[in-house]
Structure 1
Amino acid sequence: MVRAYLCLSLLLSATLVLAQSPVKTPQSKKTPRSAPGPAGGVSLNSPIPVDPGVKVGRLPNGLTYYIRKNAEPKNRAELRLVIRAGSVLETDNQQGLAHFMEHMAFNGTKNFPKNELVNFLQSAGVRFGADLNAYTGFDETVYQLPVPTDSARLFERAFQILEDWAHNVTIDPAEVEKERGVILEERRLGRGAGQRLRDKYFPVLLNNSRYASRLPIGTEEVLTTFKPEVLRQFYKDWYRPDLMAVVAVGDFNPTEVETMIREKFGRIPAVQSPKPRTEYDVPPHKDTKVVIVTDPEQPNTVVQVIYKRPEIKERTLNDLRESIKRGLFNTMLGNRIQELTQQANPPFLGGYSNYSDFIGNIDAFTSIAVAKEGNVERAIRAVLDENARVKQFGFTPTELARAKQEFYTNVEQSYSERDKTRSSSFVNEYVQNFTDKEPYTSIEFYFDFLKKQQAGITLQEVNALVDQFIRNENRAVIVMAPEKDKDKLPTVAQIISYVDDTGKNLTAYEDKTLDAPLVPTPPTPSPVANAREIKEIGVTEWTLRNGVRVVLKPTNFKNDQILFAGTSFGGTSLYDLKDYQSARFSSTLASLGGTGAYSQVQLGKFLSGKQASAFPYVGELSEGINGSAAPKDLETALQLVYSYFTQPRKDPEVVAGFLSNQRSALQNQISTPTPARVFQDTVSVTLGSNNPRRQPLKPADLDQIDLDRALKIYQERFANAGDFTFYFVGNFKEATLKPLIEKYLGGLPATSATEKFKDLGIRIPAGQISKTVYRGLDPKASVQLVYSGDLTWSPETTTQLDALAEVLEIKLTEKLREEESGVYGVGAGAGYSRYPVPRYTFRISFGCAPENVEKLIAKTQELINDLKQKGAVPADIAKFKAETRRETEVQLKDNQFWLGYLQTQYYNNDDPTEILRENEQLNKVTVESTKAAANQYLSSNYARFVLLPEKKQ
């Protein structure tokens, strides 16, 4: 895998979604963990203490290792081999070989010839791609290996794999030739408008530094023609112990792990006279670099203003305090810019300003806006005016107080979950420490430090940051736009004037808040009328007197997490086509209004610093609400639920702004549709039998939305809680939860009436379908093969479908990727649903060269026919079973899994204890059962979709 663009990926495109989503709080650098709390009066010049829970060592040959015992999840470990070498170190004739070397590590080592490494791990339940993976960046290459620890032999072999990657990759010339095609296909997947635009602006943005010419994917010329000895030279030069780290975090004995690391990696010889590892930089510049780039397939106009500055290295406690200030600054400015999209006529489709690390030795303060109707000037002025407003007037005391509370709450939650932190969270910190010297400190220390320092951070200090971030030197402006708008774009001189002239006639920001109860009139409680225990899975069912059903699963998987959901049949299916768009957007428009007395902006401010959320939705067959809370904020979350049910709020201005933005975004997509969008729209419309409810959304559809009708539909969907089932999973005690449930859910309006959805009769057409779409400038193709039909609903049926998908994907990967070198990746997946009628959809998809489409489809059909005649090979069935069992082991300790599982079982009227019989179902997967499944599910109703480049005239 290529991690080529890192944080720069945000520069490549801007996408809008048609529903509101919560704003994540941006922070400056990674939030560190830590060690013992500082005594009072410790100097801020002291170094940041490292976490004593981590054993760090260095072998005589120079290799560094990090070891931490962590039992979350149980019987699992996260292993990493980190090479502090990436594409920036390649010579001209090695461009792309850092990434190529990463691929070769999976194609044969001393102890695992050819593909034996992947086969071995799959048989142990480790999925290739999903679990076992690697990435190559500019400055590092990282191999990721999550493994079970309850088998001593498997665990030891995992370290043998790491050692083999470090110095025993065989680089067989035959395997190199096969892998060329795979990597060229990966490169092909990355082609498109983003790549073409990037090629134009990278050299300017990065001031012709080494980074601008060393994208990890490399050049086609080198990838096609290099000799294996050139790859061996890269391996020899840079895969050496002084540039390596082994990271091991998990449920194991640290002493035994250290012994294994010392034994296996200590035998790697130190390199005599190693090649110098050059640290490349991005040279500063005094002027403002402006790049205006266009492309026929770029769907919208994106403006970015990037203020580059030397990287801030966090070394001392004062650096740690400064990082808190940056986090507060980012939070407050981010909230202000988000508010701009909630006006009646927003100045842009989306935007943000943020300080963060960037690339190499630089950080950046970046302001981005997606221009509305291509209006570059309005977009850029709007986002930069917010920066200027901070510069002129600063933030307000109330903003800072909220940001501090939000920051504190986030850290407090990490602290409360310190014994439940996943190994993957720790391991990433140690990787960053090795590659970029990022500090790692325990959450105990950091939380204590925050408590002592944050209160003393003044508004004046945070306001002063804007003068550090926004400076005229080392500045770059990038405008990306559709080719059709080229003549409408401003000139370089005009763009510089926009940037230089912002901040005129501004007034201070007014922080409009509301201090009122979410639920002004306490609801009348309704007691639990019936209770039932399902002891096998630790679940309790309550039925309240008003008819609301509540399913409870208390857990100790997380200390500070309660997840909940509520669902009911009905949805948009109950409304005629003339009301469809109003119904479809009903929950979105209701949420945009806020709830009760609170506007959406005021509600966000009210909830700041609280761990409580709730989001209503109206789907096609059902409606409901999803949310989460910390135990201490659960009552607030339930008040939100009650308020969304009973107090929807109408805000015509915000809705007008939202619809205005959506029209503009949709118009962009229609006037400059991407090939992928046209293709996927064709697939969706065809599989939806051309039904009006399966058509891509158009600007004219938004004109059919009537706000009053939408809110009326929303109220109808949530008028009767009596046919809702609510689910609660997480850290709660039933006795504590009961009065809150009785008050806020028991107080909801309810009747004895129950609703069902309406079967709209939308089915994938029967028979054979073939559609080819000609779109796109690049020589690349996409293929989707879809089988569908009716289904006998049962756990056995769905397990057999899952097994069929997994064994077919294994074989397709072997055939299309490893043997034919024709694809980078291939997916085979089974989808199934009970409602409106039991149906299945089996989908195979891959990307490839246009000239290989027919050959690869034919190879796919050969594999399917082979499955029909012989069934799956026992080894592949064993891999599926091992992967499923290993995955379930972890899922059974995960709140999100249980919430989704219980919802699914109750929604489908299935036995909630079915999960306990998974082994029984897996044992029914045999060679014969996969043969029968292939014949049953891969025979009828076949749809073939192919995306090819536009035909040359």
Structure 2
Amino acid sequence: MRNPAPLVLTLALAVAALVLILRKPDEASPAAATSPPPAEQTPDPGAAAPEDSTQEALPPSPWPHEVSDIPADPAIVFGKLGNGMRYVILPNAEPPERVSVRLHIGAGSLMEADDQQGLAHFLEHMVFNGTEHFKAGELVPRMQRLGIAFGAHVNAFTSFDQTVYSLDLPDLSDSTLDLAFNVMRDFADGAQLATDEIDKERGVILAEMNSRDSIGYRILKKQFKALLPDSLIARRFPIGEEEIIRGAPRERFVDFYQNYYVPSRMTFVVVGAIDPAAMRKRIESAFGGMTGPEDPGADPQLGDYTPPATQEPLVFTDAELPATSLGLTCIKPYEDRIDNRENRADLMRLSLAHSMLGRRFDRIAEGAESPIVEGSASRQQLFRAVTVGSVDVTVTDGRLDEAVVVLENEFRRAKEHGFTEAELAEAKANILNYYQQQVANRDSRRSDELSSMIVTAINERDVLSSPETDLEVLQGFLGDITPKDCHSAFLDFWKDTHPRLVMTAKEAPADVAKTLSARFAEAAAMPVEPPVEMEVKAFAYTDFGTAGTVAEREDVKDLGVTRLTLSNGVTVNLKPTDYDKNRISLMARIGHGRLLMDKDKVGLAEFATAVVNEGGIGEHSAEELRRILAGRNVGTGFSVGDGHFSLAGTTTPDDLQLQLQLMAAQVLHPGTREEAISQFRRTVPMLFQQLKHNPDGAMQDMFAWLHGDDPRFEFPDSPDKVLSLRAEDIDSWLARDFTPGRIELNVVGDFELEKTIPLVLATFGALPDRPAAGRDRLSDPVQSVDFPTPPQEKDYTYSSRIERALSLVIWKVPGPRGNEEQFRRFNLLADIVADRLREEVREKLGASYSPGAGAGGSRELEDFGFLMAQSTGKPGDTQALTDASRRIAAELAAKGATEDELTRAKTPMLADLEKSLRDNSYWLQSVLNGSTDDPHRLELARSRIDDVRSITLAEINELAKRYLTQDNTITVTILPEP
């Protein structure tokens, strides 16, 4: 199992962790495709930090590209208003007729005074609660009526050094653009900050503070304080302090807003299908009249970053931590580097070194008796204040002494002996491929992803260069980098750092620091041998025998889908698209999945998923495959569904043949190697530790109960039951239902149809014969489970001192299988319930930060569907949360929704449906997947938008009246144990 949990909580991971902590729960994270894979992803340019360790007071001027030998993307329009506000405009075609806007403010929690801790984030909430153009409570409904959903399309986040507001617009109409620019201008300087609205929002902030609380977060704060004891960073976590949240007077909000929400700290970003000249005029009109104070707020004195002189290991313990981690961490002065070719080359050499060291930990972790589960190496710069280096491993339970040796020896092996040609070749191939793919995919980049990427670059003071320029710069130095260069970069970074050993663990003896020091010294006295050059084998699966033929072909022209039945019984659905350049998504749907799983092998689905994904294929281990496939866009993910197995992957036109070969080989020879089983078993204690101390464990038990406690849908209640599973259990199951099972192969993306069919025939078409296609399995009795009969109440507990409880109210409804049209209406009804929960539970009661509702069910199981309302809050508030959900349902059942509520739910849904038409994952997952068994899925794709438009209030209210009743209600409470 790869990366079973976020186990390593070191300072080097602080930035990423805190973004997750502070971001709204339903905001999409920036796409991974916007950042290259190594730890040191991009240089950290910016103005030099003054010697007194303060940050520069204002954003850099000129733009970073104006002081660099790397040019900016010529498609980007840069500008600056007379008041100092900057803007970035980028025309972009995907999705069509859409635009994304971002307002970046170079101010966050670091700018707060002692009596303002948490107010930067609090302000982010307050701009939604009454501004110059929108009274309190008006903004969200106004946006919904235009198709802008709160959370999904409008959101914000606050970090240590920035606040960002996001709007993704569903169209380019004047009304939508007018609202967007009015909203963003109001966020910038039009917030009313009414005292009564501040007081109402205090509960929401406290509820968010509760929802964000975790053992990992608490440990992270302790690590900051220990490693940066004299730094303001350790005392300015963005969520703030409860006492200040409860009592800060209005004038402290106003002070921060007026002093830091100033034009000179703002950058406005517009990306989409727009005319730059028209956007420039709108920006000038909307923001040109802004003014700032004569003496705006300056950046703070961030304090001393000199690490303590002691080298004694730091030990952090908490009984709820999932695992033990060890890290070597160094704190270095911030290095001011402009983003130019020389510095990109310097940072790349170190990045490659850290990547190669991380891969060594990967190989060690794959050993059958390895003392570590995973490992990594990285360098990060925090807020242009300090540079952090970290080498980390997650420890196999009970193997601490050996893990210390692995950590010390591998770190020292890299220092003493450097890296091999084969290691470097693999790392280079992967990074070069990444940049090449950015160029190939340029025209397919999504505006929302691009706008978020631009904001990140602005905050990091990176040059906004084009993918072509990035590749050209990389190619200018990558080929010349040698193992010796990477070794030198590694030594230069880590020299004279005296890295400190940091340990986090569930428990540790009182003298563990002394023991760690002694063990580390013993390890340091051991000789380490140079790394051995690794052989890269040839891929063994290029010939599957006689290619199959096409037995039947149907061209569904209005959907652009070609459906094939091959001579061996495999069915194939092919949809070429042109809106995701150089990317192809594949999914093979195989056999029956959980439905034919042995009921006496509880947990076998999870065990098989982990082992097969790390077990390689017949002739190649997973580690061999990583070396063989370095620099190629090839890979598979194995999963077990309710009624099928799945093999999925994403590739490019150049690598499509290899991707099909890999998938076909995995069908015939799924790997269940002992090293993969050993890896999984080493994660089991961590997994159960997480389930024990996290409400997710109770949620898992609840969903098993909703499946009638059918063993196929349960997870074992003890580690011993999981550890008793063997390779032969997987082999037996796959041998009867996966390797010989019926196959539906779906391919969507940028490919040429007639060139692709022969590749499919030579791989999947050459497999042994399959069962007949299109067999109707609707009447198969194993496809049913016993949903609990309402009304019922159920309580679950988990063990934690974090005071977080969940209220879940569930209504049984018909499932989506063969019932998709009605289920769309349940989704709309759920959206209306969710919006009422937002108004009642979040805005009025302030008892839950992010209450919500949704319709869920299974396309595989017969009549398995439900509508669920969920609220997270304090244990003492669960009854109030449950009562609110039940009351909202009862009111809807008795009185129905309003036409305005239906409009505010339907309009954003229609906007998302229109957008999904240019999304490969929609066609793959929602249309083609399973269409062999259920050809009606194609008709659903044709009619869904018109169907949603046709939904009437009477239909929604009839469903509410029929299903949101007291006698159809199941109430579940999840509480931490006393």
Find out whether 1:658 has 2:658 as its counterpart.
no
Farther-moved stretch of structure 1 (465-474 vs 134-143): 465-474
- Superposed displacement of residue 84, structure 1: 0.8
Farther-moved stretch of structure 1 (632-641 vs 142-151): 142-151
What does 1:216-615 align with in structure 2 at a 5 Å threshold? 216-278=238-300, 280=302, 283-285=305-307, 286-288=309-311, 290-312=313-335, 313-471=337-495, 473=497, 475-482=499-506, 485-487=507-509, 490-492=512-514, 494-495=516-517, 498=520, 501-502=523-524, 504-519=526-541, 521-579=543-601, 581=603, 585-586=607-608, 588-615=610-637
Q: Distance in 2 between matches of 1:370 and 1:591?
A: 20
Q: Distance in 1 between matches of 2:135 and 2:498?
A: 50
Cα deviations by residue, 1:825-874 (Å, 9 ceiling, x for unpaired): 11101012243312212111111223322222222222111111222111
Q: 2:42, 2:344 within 8 Å by CA — same for their partners in 1?
A: no
Q: Which residue of 1 aligns with 2:229?
A: 207
2:201 to 179, 183, 186: 179
| Partner SS for 1:597 | coil
1:114 to 110, 124, 136: 136
CA 1:488/1:651 → structure 2, altered by over 3 Å: closer, same or farther? farther
| Partner SS for 2:96 | coil
Amino acid at match of 2:963: Y
Q: Distance in 2 between matches of 1:915 and 1:317?
A: 48
Farther-moved stretch of structure 1 (415-424 vs 586-595): 586-595
Q: Which residue of 2 aligns with 1:6?
A: 15
Q: Which residue of 2 aligns with 1:910?
A: 936
Amino acid at match of 1:372: T
Farther-moved stretch of structure 1 (115-124 vs 198-207): 198-207
Find out whether 1:892 has 2:917 as its counterpart.
yes
Q: Distance in 1 between matches of 2:20 and 2:457?
A: 26
Cα deviations by residue, 1:114-136 (Å, 9 ceiling, x for unpaired): 12221111111111112200011
Farther-moved stretch of structure 1 (115-124 vs 745-754): 745-754
| Partner SS for 1:788 | strand
Find out whether 1:91 has 2:138 as its counterpart.
no
What does 1:630-645 align with in structure 2 at a 5 Å threshold? 630-645=652-667
Q: 1:66, 1:248 within 8 Å by CA — same for their partners in 2?
A: yes
- Superposed displacement of residue 281, structure 1: 5.6
Q: Distance in 2 between matches of 1:928 and 1:388?
A: 71
The number of residues matched between the two structures is 925
- Superposed displacement of residue 663, structure 1: 3.6
Find out whether 1:762 has 2:782 as its counterpart.
no
Q: Which residue of 2 aligns with 1:945?
A: 972
Q: Which residue of 2 aligns with 1:713?
A: 733
TM-score (norm: length of structure 2): 0.89
1:932 to 936, 947, 958: 958
Cα deviations by residue, 1:286-332 (Å, 9 ceiling, x for unpaired): 44364322223223222232222234424321012123223322332
Q: Distance in 1 between matches of 2:298 and 2:746?
A: 59
Find out whether 1:848 has 2:873 as its counterpart.
yes
CA 1:726/1:49 → structure 2, altered by over 3 Å: closer, same or farther? same
% identical aligned pairs: 26
Find out whether 1:919 has 2:945 as its counterpart.
yes
Farther-moved stretch of structure 1 (125-134 vs 680-689): 680-689
| Partner SS for 2:508 | helix
Q: Distance in 2 between matches of 1:858 and 1:765?
A: 21
Find out whether 1:151 has 2:179 as its counterpart.
no
- Superposed displacement of residue 657, structure 1: 2.1
| Partner SS for 1:363 | strand
| Partner SS for 1:81 | strand
Amino acid at match of 2:764: L
Cα deviations by residue, 1:879-921 (Å, 9 ceiling, x for unpaired): 2221111112221111112111221544544231322212332
Q: Distance in 1 between matches of 2:20 and 2:98?
A: 37
CA 1:791/1:563 → structure 2, altered by over 3 Å: closer, same or farther? closer
Amino acid at match of 1:767: P
Farther-moved stretch of structure 1 (137-146 vs 302-311): 302-311
| Partner SS for 1:783 | strand
Q: 1:205, 1:289 within 8 Å by CA — same for their partners in 2?
A: no
Q: Which residue of 1 aligns with 2:42?
A: 30
TM-score (norm: length of structure 1): 0.92
Q: Which residue of 2 aligns with 1:197?
A: 219
Find out whether 1:688 has 2:715 as its counterpart.
no
Farther-moved stretch of structure 1 (68-77 vs 291-300): 291-300
| Partner SS for 1:559 | coil
Amino acid at match of 2:324: T
Farther-moved stretch of structure 1 (615-624 vs 185-194): 615-624
Find out whether 1:740 has 2:759 as its counterpart.
yes
- Superposed displacement of residue 471, structure 1: 4.0
Q: Distance in 2 between matches of 1:761 and 1:429?
A: 45
Amino acid at match of 1:716: R
Find out whether 1:859 has 2:898 as its counterpart.
no
Cα deviations by residue, 1:730-783 (Å, 9 ceiling, x for unpaired): 111111111111111110111445785761643221123223345432443221
| Partner SS for 2:617 | coil
CA 1:10/1:805 → structure 2, altered by over 3 Å: closer, same or farther? closer
Q: Which residue of 2 aligns with 1:39?
A: none
1:646 to 668, 685, 693: 668
CA 1:570/1:411 → structure 2, altered by over 3 Å: closer, same or farther? same
Q: Distance in 2 between matches of 1:57 and 1:316?
A: 21
CA 1:514/1:318 → structure 2, altered by over 3 Å: closer, same or farther? closer
Q: 2:603, 2:715 within 8 Å by CA — same for their partners in 1?
A: no
| Partner SS for 2:938 | coil
Q: Distance in 1 between matches of 2:525 and 2:424?
A: 22
Cα deviations by residue, 1:461-516 (Å, 9 ceiling, x for unpaired): 1111221333453744432222xx33276125634762794472222223433423
Amino acid at match of 2:584: I
CA 1:749/1:584 → structure 2, altered by over 3 Å: closer, same or farther? farther
Q: Distance in 2 between matches of 1:886 and 1:499?
A: 62
CA 1:340/1:116 → structure 2, altered by over 3 Å: closer, same or farther? same
Find out whether 1:811 has 2:833 as its counterpart.
no
Amino acid at match of 2:905: F
Cα deviations by residue, 1:549-571 (Å, 9 ceiling, x for unpaired): 11010001122111111113422
| Partner SS for 1:632 | coil
CA 1:562/1:499 → structure 2, altered by over 3 Å: closer, same or farther? farther
| Partner SS for 1:400 | helix
CA 1:218/1:414 → structure 2, altered by over 3 Å: closer, same or farther? same
Q: Distance in 2 between matches of 1:696 and 1:344?
A: 24
- Superposed displacement of residue 451, structure 1: 2.2
Measured on the aligned residues, the alpha-carbon RMSD in Å equals: 2.8
- Superposed displacement of residue 437, structure 1: 1.4
| Partner SS for 2:782 | coil
- Superposed displacement of residue 611, structure 1: 0.6
Cα deviations by residue, 1:95-116 (Å, 9 ceiling, x for unpaired): 1100111100111110011122
Q: Distance in 1 between matches of 2:933 and 2:408?
A: 48
CA 1:550/1:507 → structure 2, altered by over 3 Å: closer, same or farther? same
- Superposed displacement of residue 620, structure 1: 4.2
Amino acid at match of 1:787: W
CA 1:894/1:330 → structure 2, altered by over 3 Å: closer, same or farther? farther
CA 1:515/1:349 → structure 2, altered by over 3 Å: closer, same or farther? closer
Q: 2:815, 2:866 within 8 Å by CA — same for their partners in 1?
A: no
Cα deviations by residue, 1:609-666 (Å, 9 ceiling, x for unpaired): 00111233344421231112110011111111221122344533x1342243134334
2:163 to 138, 141, 145: 141
CA 1:106/1:585 → structure 2, altered by over 3 Å: closer, same or farther? same
Q: Which residue of 2 aligns with 1:824?
A: 849
Q: Which residue of 1 aligns with 2:91?
A: 69
Q: Which runs of 5+ in 2 are unaligned?
A: 1-10, 22-32, 46-65
